[in-house]
């Protein structure tokens, strides 16, 4: 997979792309991330990429020419079939979206700044818009890094053991179970005995049940499409089976 990122601050992303699992995956060529600065496509000596909005108002807007030219400059290395604007009005990034994007051959991520981008950028080159949540960031770089992290974990080989991905929160639609490590007792608080007994079937069942318990307590909205086993485990927890959504119900 190839990911091209359009950012006014490539140096802000470089350090994060070189550490941990992400850095190792890039070094091993499991996928690539290339950074392009739209300022390199500005049409004046000051490399201006923003201007005052038509109609007035506070703040500045990113101009269409540098952004569109920067996207189109990638045509020889990127299919440009998936040009994504990190935007608060986009569909929300979740595990399902990350899994979907991980199957792409390439994508372009546009990091907006200021009050956003000229709408003509969206109409002419953007194919998708993605948001990382209902809050405001100063720029799309943080959002792009979150997307790259989430997507890269779905690429085979990026995470050393697939079991680590398989037990991630949201991978199976629920939150992950509680995790423990040494010592077995800390200030009188003991690790559940089942995790110490070595019975792998019992451990797996405990983890699924614990995941359902924490999801029911903290994110009950996720308990919509459950298997028969999960429904049985919820019944053991004393929970009622989730009521299926009615047609057209949000």
Report the C-alpha gap between 193 and 179 in whole angstroms.
13
Q: Which of 153, 177, 213, 216 is catalytic?
A: 153
- For the chain, what are the domain ranges? 2-152, 167-250
Q: Give the model's pLDDT for residue 81.
A: 98
pLDDT digits (tens, 9 = 90+) for 109-151: 999 999 999 999 999 999 999 999 999 899 999 999 999 999 9
Give catalytic status of residue 2 as yes or no: no
Q: What does the pLDDT average to over 238-249?
A: 51
Q: Which of 106, 128, 149, 168 is catalytic?
A: 168
Q: Which of 65, 69, 106, 115 is catalytic?
A: 115
User: Could you give the 3-state DSSP secondary structure of residue 69?
Assistant: helix
Give catalytic status of residue 168 as yes or no: yes
Give catalytic status of residue 10 as yes or no: no
pLDDT digits (tens, 9 = 90+) for 220-242: 999 988 999 999 999 999 854 55
pLDDT digits (tens, 9 = 90+) for 3-50: 999 999 999 899 899 999 999 999 999 999 999 999 999 989 999 999
pTM reported for the whole predicted model: 0.84
3, containing H or E segment: strand 2-6
Q: Give the model's pLDDT for residue 247.
A: 44
- The class of domain 2-152 in CATH terms is alpha beta
pLDDT digits (tens, 9 = 90+) for 158-169: 885 545 555 555
Q: Give the model's pLDDT for residue 250.
A: 42
pLDDT digits (tens, 9 = 90+) for 45-65: 999 999 999 999 999 999 999
Q: Give the model's pLDDT for residue 53.
A: 95
Judged against a pLDDT cut of 70, whether residue 170 lies above it is answered with no
Range with the lowest mean pLDDT among 10-14, 69-73, 170-174, 184-188?
170-174
**Are 158 and 30 in contact, with CB atoms under 8 Å apart?**
yes
- Which strand ranges, in their side-by-side order, compose the sheet holding 2-6? 32-36, 2-6, 106-111, 83-92, 128-131
**Are 69 and 41 in contact, with CB atoms under 8 Å apart?**
yes
pLDDT digits (tens, 9 = 90+) for 142-158: 999 999 999 999 888 88
Q: Give the model's pLDDT for residue 249.
A: 45
Judged against a pLDDT cut of 90, whether residue 103 lies above it is answered with yes
Judged against a pLDDT cut of 50, whether residue 248 lies above it is answered with no
Judged against a pLDDT cut of 60, whether residue 245 lies above it is answered with no
CA angle 22, 138, 23 (to 5 degrees): 10
Give catalytic status of residue 153 as yes or no: yes
SS (H, E, C) 183-227: CCEECCEECCHHHCCCCHHHHHHHHHHHHHHHHHHHCHHHCCCCC
- In the chain, % of residues over pLDDT 70: 90
CATH topology of domain 167-250: 1.10.1270
């Amino acid at each position: 997979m190839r990911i091209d990122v359009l950012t006014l601050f490539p140096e802000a992303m470089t350090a994060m792309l070189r550490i941990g699992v992400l850095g190792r995956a890039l070094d091993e060529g499991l996928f690539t991330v290339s950074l392009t600065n739209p300022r390199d496509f500005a049409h004046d000596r000051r490399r201006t990429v923003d201007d005052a909005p038509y109609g007035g108002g506070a703040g500045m807007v990113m101009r269409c020419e540098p952004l569109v030219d920067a996207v189109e400059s990638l045509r020889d290395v990127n299919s440009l079939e998936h040009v994504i604007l990190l935007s608060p009005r986009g569909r929300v990034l979740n595990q399902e979206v990350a899994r979907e994007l991980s199957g792409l051959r390439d994508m372009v991520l546009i990091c907006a700044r200021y009050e956003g981008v000229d709408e003509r950028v969206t109409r002419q080159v953007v194919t998708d818009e993605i948001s990382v949540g209902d809050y405001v960031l100063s720029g799309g770089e943080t959002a792009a890094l979150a997307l790259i992290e989430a997507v890269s974990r779905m690429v085979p080989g990026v995470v050393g053991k697939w079991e680590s991905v398989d037990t991630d929160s949201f991978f199976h639609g629920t939150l992950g179970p509680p995790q423990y490590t040494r010592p077995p007792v800390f200030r009188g608080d003991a690790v559940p005995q089942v995790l110490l007994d070595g019975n792998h079937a019992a451990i797996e069942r405990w983890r699924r049940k614990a995941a359902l318990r924490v999801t029911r307590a903290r994110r009950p909205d996720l308990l919509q499409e459950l298997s028969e086993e999960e429904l049985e485990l919820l019944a053991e927890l004393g929970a009622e089976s989730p009521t299926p959504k009615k047609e057209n119900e949000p």
